[in-house]
Amino acid sequence: MAVKIATPLRALNPQRFARTVGRRLYSSQGLTVAVLFQDIDPPVINRVRKPRKPGGYQDSGADIAYTLRSKGINITTLDPSPQVSKHEGWCYPDTEEGIVSAVDNGATHLWANTILFDSHPLQRSDKLTSYASDLYVVGQPPGLVENCDDKAFLNDKLRSLGGYTLPHSWLVTDSDNLDEFVGSIKGFPVVGKPVRGRGSHGVKLCHTPVQLKQHIEALLGESPLIMVEEYLAGEEATITVMPPSPERPEHWSMLPVTRFNHADGIAPYNGSVAVTANSRVVTNDEMKDPAYGKVMEECQDVAKLIGATAPIRIDVRRFREGSEFALFDINMKPNMTGPGRPGREDQASLTAMAAAAIGWDYGTLLQKILASAQRLSAFRDYRSPF
């Protein structure tokens, strides 16, 4: 079966795109970045609403803006003089008014450090249409995020295409008979989680039928649709896939970052435990295990298939110690915190840790991501491969 590949750049000649973006990024003139934070509640999509992060990613947004400025890149901020010790004031809200304000203040590049969806102003605002050919965006096309943020949707599509290693999973709705469903599960433990999650919110390892039913009931109180997944008992790792850029015009995987010190089988939320305390990049010797190379290729294939235009981070785990890896969580918006501001020394994200392993400090990583920025018109022209 022929597999379609998403074509967000179908209106652009790749060589011309590379030359144009390269000139804009590395010229000392004509480039001003505004970072957007989440000020809009995500809509209900297929009866499910993605939980909003407290603060709307202003912490990582401030890290991005501060660090890019320290690299000599012109930054426009909501507060003309934001305090380095505070998250607020560095970023513009992702409302139509906030985005237009950033453009009015000279922004040529919008860093969409927020959750996107098809009705988002970046996709739908008429006020931005006249800028669509000249304004650049760092992030994923809103239509891509709306579809692929749904873990059940994306996993089912990958499973139907074949060639991807995935755990067994089941969907549960608020109309299902829970006793009947729980009774159909033959092997424990299993993991219950939202289909549109954020971090480790709502993710729990359930060891017994009673525990699973209680957790399903709790999750259904937040969302009418949840996922139950086979528990992968082996090593967990996460792989960042970088988008095409003028420097490297294809999707490519950074080295895996292995995770440890789980809390009851689940990696804790980075807001509770800094990832630098429970994660490390795999060693060259460990990379001799062909399971790493195989799963890295699968991750690259996912990014290429969906047409990712910014980094995605895919969490993978072995079925058991020494086995191959399965893809169990595909994140459209990886955490992008990083050191730079005072008191943020331990706030390297998993992606930043992987970048450090190839010699990129946090600021260099951000510059490389900025090089993947695309015209707003290309974002709006995105077409799903499914």
pLDDT category of residue 267 using cuts at 50, 70 and 90:
confident
CA distance 284 to 329: 25
CA distance 310 to 371: 10
The pLDDT value recorded for residue 272 is 61
Same structural domain for residues 160 and 225? no
We report the CATH number of the domain holding residue 323 as 3.30.470.20
The pLDDT value recorded for residue 13 is 38
- Classify the phi-psi angles of 343: left when phi > 0, otherwise alpha if psi is within -120 to 50, otherwise beta: left
pLDDT digits (tens, 9 = 90+) for 135-171: 999 999 999 999 999 988 999 999 999 999 999 999 9
User: Is 10 part of a structural domain of the chain?
Assistant: no
In the 8-state DSSP scheme, what is residue 50? Answer: P
Encoding tokens for residue 4? 């379609």
Percent of the chain at pLDDT > 70 equals 91
The pLDDT value recorded for residue 19 is 40
List, in sequence order, every residue forming a beta bridge with 329; answer none if it has no partner: 315
User: Is 365 part of a structural domain of the chain?
Assistant: no
The pLDDT value recorded for residue 22 is 44
Please report where in the chains the tokens 């990582």 appear, as a residue. 60
Evaluate if residue 75 carries a pLDDT over 50: yes
Burial label, 335 (beta-carbon count in 10 A; 0-12, 13-18, 19+)? buried
Q: What does the pLDDT average to over 121-127?
A: 97
Identify the domain containing residue 206 by its residue range: 169-230
Other beta carbons within 10 Å of 47: 10
Task: State how far the alpha carbon of 158 is from the alpha carbons of 230, 308, 343, in Å.
Answer: 17, 15, 41
The pLDDT value recorded for residue 7 is 56
List, in sequence order, every residue forming a beta bridge with 165; answer none if it has no partner: none
Please report where in the chains the tokens 């072995």 appear, as a residue. 318
Encoding tokens for residue 182? 């729980």
Domain boundary among 230, 255, 270: 230
Cα atoms found within 13 Å of the Cα of residue 206, Cβ hemisphere only: 26
Encoding tokens for residue 271? 């807001």
Cα angle 308-310-316, degrees, rounded to a multiple of 5: 70
Question: In this predicted model, which residue has the larger pLDDT, 52 or 96?
Answer: 96
pLDDT category of residue 269 using cuts at 50, 70 and 90:
low
pLDDT category of residue 222 using cuts at 50, 70 and 90:
confident
We report the CATH number of the domain holding residue 115 as 3.40.50
Domain count of the fold of the chain: 3
Same structural domain for residues 155 and 246? yes
User: Is 302 part of a structural domain of the chain?
Assistant: yes
Distance of CA 133 to the CA centre of its chain: 25
For residue 126, the one-letter residue type is: D
User: Is 279 part of a structural domain of the chain?
Assistant: yes
Domain boundary among 230, 246, 269: 230
User: Is 14 part of a structural domain of the chain?
Assistant: no
Encoding tokens for residue 296? 């890295």
Encoding tokens for residue 370? 């900025």
Same structural domain for residues 268 and 206? no
